[in-house]
Amino acid sequence: MKDEQIKIGVEEIRNIKMTPKEKKLVLENVLTFPISITQPVRSPFTFISIFQKHHFAFYSMASLLVIVLSSGGVAFASQESLPGNILYPIKVSIIEPINSALKFSTESKAKYESKLATERLIEAETLAYQGKLDAPKEKQINDLLAIHTTALDKSIKELKQNKSDEVASSIATNFQVEMNAHAQVLDIINEQKNIGIASSEYAIGQQVENAQISTTARINADKIRVSSNNNNKEDVAQTASEYAKKIESVKTMIDSTTSDLNQITTTSPVKQKIIEDTRKTLDESKKFLNEAHEQNTNGDPKDAYSSVLKSENAAKEADIFFKTGIQLEDKNNN
C-alpha cells in the first residue's frame, strides 16, 4: 500500500509545472544558500530530525525531492558541474546531502564521504589544469573537504566503537591513499604551470600558488589515519597463508602499474613527470616489500606485516596517481 502511494505521489509530482517566474525564484534561493563548515546545534524540531525518527517517511520525502530535481534534468546536469558553475551549489548543497542522508549504515556513510572528498580533489585538478582555480574556488573546495573529512572521521569513530576496526581501517587507508595521490597530481599541475609562466616574458608576479588544497588533502589523510589507528598497534597477519596472499596481491599491483607505464611513450613534459614520479613510488613499494622479507626471515612477523601494508599503500597510491594524472592530461588535450 505504501509503495503504491509513493508511486502515485511520484506521478503527481512529475505533473507539477512551474511558471518561469517560480523556477527563477527556486533557483535563486538555491544559489544564494550559504555553505558553511560550521556544524549547527541540532534542534529536535527541525524538518530533518523529525523525519529521521520515521525512516520510511524520511526516505520517501528525500526520494521525492530527488525526483523533483532530476525530472527537469537539473540534478543530472549538476553532477558534472565545477566550482563557479551555476549548478554547483545544487550538487553540493542539495543532491549530495540528500544522498548522504539516504546512506543508513555507518560504513556506507563513511565510504560516501570519502568518495565526495576524492571528487572535490578531482574538481580542483580540473580547474587547476584549466588555470581556473582562483582563491574563492580554492576556499570553497577546502571548506567542503573539511566537511567531508569531519563526517568521515565521525563515521570511522562509530565503526571502531561498534568493534568494526577492520572496516574502519580499510576505509581510512583508502581515503589516505586517494588524498595523497590526488595531492601529488595537483602539485605536478601547479609545478608545470609555474614552469610555463617562468618561460614567459610576462612571468613577473604570476607564480601559481594554489597549493592549499594539496596541503589540506594530506593533513586530512593524516587526521583520518590517526582516528583509525587501533591504539597504535599494527595488524598482524593471522596465518602464513594470509601473509603470503598479501605479498602476492601487492606484487600483482606493482606489476600491473609497471606494465601500464611501459606502454606509454610521450614527449609531454607533464606525462613524463607523472611517469617518473610513479616509478619512484613503485620503487618505494618494492623497498617496503624487501624490508618485509628481511623482517619475516628474522622472526619478526609484526614488523614484516607492517612493512607489507606500507608497500600496499604505496602501490595503490602509485596506481591512482598514474591513472588520474594521465587521464587528466589526455582529457584536457583532446
Whether residues 199 and 155 fall in one domain? yes
pLDDT tens, position by position, 179-194: 999 999 999 888 876 5
Whether residues 92 and 116 fall in one domain? no
Domain end marker among 102, 125, 142:
102
- Say yes or no to pLDDT of 281 above 90: yes
Whether residues 207 and 129 fall in one domain? yes
Q: Taking Cα atoms as reference points, which of 176, 249, 185 lies closest to residue 219?
A: 176
Domain-located, residue 134: yes
Domain end marker among 66, 83, 102:
102
pLDDT tens, position by position, 46-102: 444 444 445 555 455 555 455 545 545 655 566 778 999 888 988 898 889 888 888
| Cβ count within 10 A of residue 320 | 23
pLDDT number for residue 238:
57
Residue span of the structural domain in which 301 resides: 278-326
How far apart (Å, rounded) are the C-alpha atoms in residues 323 and 275?
A: 10
Q: What is the mean pLDDT of the chain?
A: 77
pLDDT number for residue 104:
87
How many residues does this entry show for the chain?
A: 334
Helix (H), strand (E) at residue 277? helix 269-297
261 φ, ψ (degrees, to nearest 5): -60, -45
Domain-located, residue 173: yes
Cα radius of gyration (the chain): 23
State the total domains in the chain.
3
- Say yes or no to pLDDT of 120 above 90: yes
Whether residues 28 and 74 fall in one domain? yes
Domain-located, residue 199: yes
Domain end marker among 175, 199, 231:
231
C-alpha cell at 127: 580547474
Whether residues 88 and 117 fall in one domain? no
Domain-located, residue 247: no
Domain-located, residue 188: yes
Contact 115, 144 (CB under 8 A): no
pLDDT number for residue 292:
93
Domain-located, residue 317: yes
Whether residues 151 and 202 fall in one domain? yes
pLDDT number for residue 264:
87
pLDDT number for residue 40:
43
When pLDDT is averaged across residues 112-121 and rounded to a whole number, the result is: 96
Whether residues 112 and 220 fall in one domain? yes
The span from the first CA to the last CA of the chain, in angstroms, equals: 52
Whether residues 176 and 158 fall in one domain? yes
How far apart (Å, rounded) are the C-alpha atoms in residues 127 and 297?
A: 49
- Predicted confidence band at 212 (pLDDT cuts at 50, 70, 90)? confident
Cβ-count burial of 301 within 10 angstroms (0-12 exposed, 13-18 middle, 19+ buried)?
middle
Q: Which range is least confidently modeled, 50-64, 137-151, 244-258, 307-321?
A: 50-64
How far apart (Å, rounded) are the C-alpha atoms in residues 266 and 274?
A: 11
Whether residues 74 and 90 fall in one domain? yes
How far apart (Å, rounded) are the C-alpha atoms in residues 251 and 164?
A: 28
Whether residues 79 and 142 fall in one domain? no
pLDDT tens, position by position, 1-40: 545 555 554 454 455 455 555 444 445 554 454 444 444 4
Contact 114, 163 (CB under 8 A): no
Domain-located, residue 214: yes
